[in-house]
Structure 1
Amino acid sequence: MIRKLQAIALDCEDHVRLAQFYADLLGGRVVADPDAPDWIEVHGFEGTPLAFQRVDGYQPPEWPDQKRPQQVHLDFDVDDLDGEEKRAVALGATVLERADEIRPGANWRVYADPAGHPFCLCLH
């Protein structure tokens, strides 16, 4: 029987940069293993650790287009959507959609991380 989810891993071109983005976004810390130079993790925040794997020829998703679809996206609870959006963008995120401004009842906004993976900030 599986005990727990150990990590969520994302492919990317620059795993060190992407790990630092998420460490800064989540208040975590980057954990590197010198024996695994293409793998890095972020720990020290509430939730499952995130891992980042360097992949040659990485092609980012094109959201919402399905030419290169997202294969996974992350949702994060926040108390202040505007404040956390400003912080995420300052760290290198790109706003993809402010769903709360265009869809009645929506409580989330969609962003791309520096490697192009979509993620959402969701008003808790």
Structure 2
Amino acid sequence: MMPIATLRGVTLDCADPRALARFYQELTGMQLGYDADGLVALIDGSCCDLGFQQVDGYQAPRWPGQDVPQQVHLDLRVEDLDVAEKLALGFGAVRPDRQPGGDRWRVLLDPAGHPFCLVVG
């Protein structure tokens, strides 16, 4: 079956798109591709952009609880969990107490509260 669409990108809601884009730019090395009208997009040539859009009254997810659901969850491949976690925390991520991945992955929260995982391999 021929696909009728391909993934173009993922966009995260947030209160401050520029600040969240800077965080992910530091984390991933992606480059600024677009910045206007409350929308910022990062690109890296993979044909899957990472976007951030301003939402009035944005409420951060409350992971692991579901009072405000996680909304989106990104998995980011890394070579060394400890090194990547230390750098991500330095960029502004937060490490929640609940860590269900053991040595396989680490759950962190971005500055807007979205959970994401650092995954080996």
TM over 0.5: yes
Deviation digits for residues 50-106 of structure 1, max 9, x if unmatched?
Answer: 0000001000000011110112100011110000000100000001243344xxxx5
- Kindly report which structure 2 residues correspond to 1:101-116, keeping only aligned pairs within 5 A, or say none: 101=102, 107-116=104-113
Instruction: Return the offset for 1:31.
Output: 2.1
Match of 2:4 in 1: 2
Identity of aligned residues (%): 46
Q: How many residues align?
A: 118
Q: Whole-Å Cα distance in 2 between the matches of residues 16 and 40 of structure 1?
A: 6
Instruction: Return the offset for 1:30.
Output: 1.7
Q: Whole-Å Cα distance in 1 between the matches of residues 45 and 116 of structure 2?
A: 17
Unaligned runs of 5+ in 1: none
Instruction: Return the offset for 1:47.
Output: 6.6
Instruction: Return the offset for 1:2.
Output: 2.9
Match of 1:64 in 2: 64
What amino acid is the match of 2:91? Answer: L
Match of 1:15 in 2: 17
- Kindly report which structure 2 residues correspond to 1:92-103, keeping only aligned pairs within 5 A, or say none: 92-96=92-96, 97-101=98-102
Match of 1:117 in 2: 114
Runs of 4+ residues over 4 Å off in structure 1: none
Instruction: Return the offset for 1:23.
Output: 0.9
Correspondent of 1:32 among 28, 31, 34: 34
Match of 1:49 in 2: 49
Unaligned runs of 5+ in 2: none
Q: Whole-Å Cα distance in 1 between the matches of residues 15 and 100 of structure 2?
A: 28
What amino acid is the match of 1:61? Answer: P
Q: Whole-Å Cα distance in 2 between the matches of residues 95 and 86 of structure 1?
A: 10
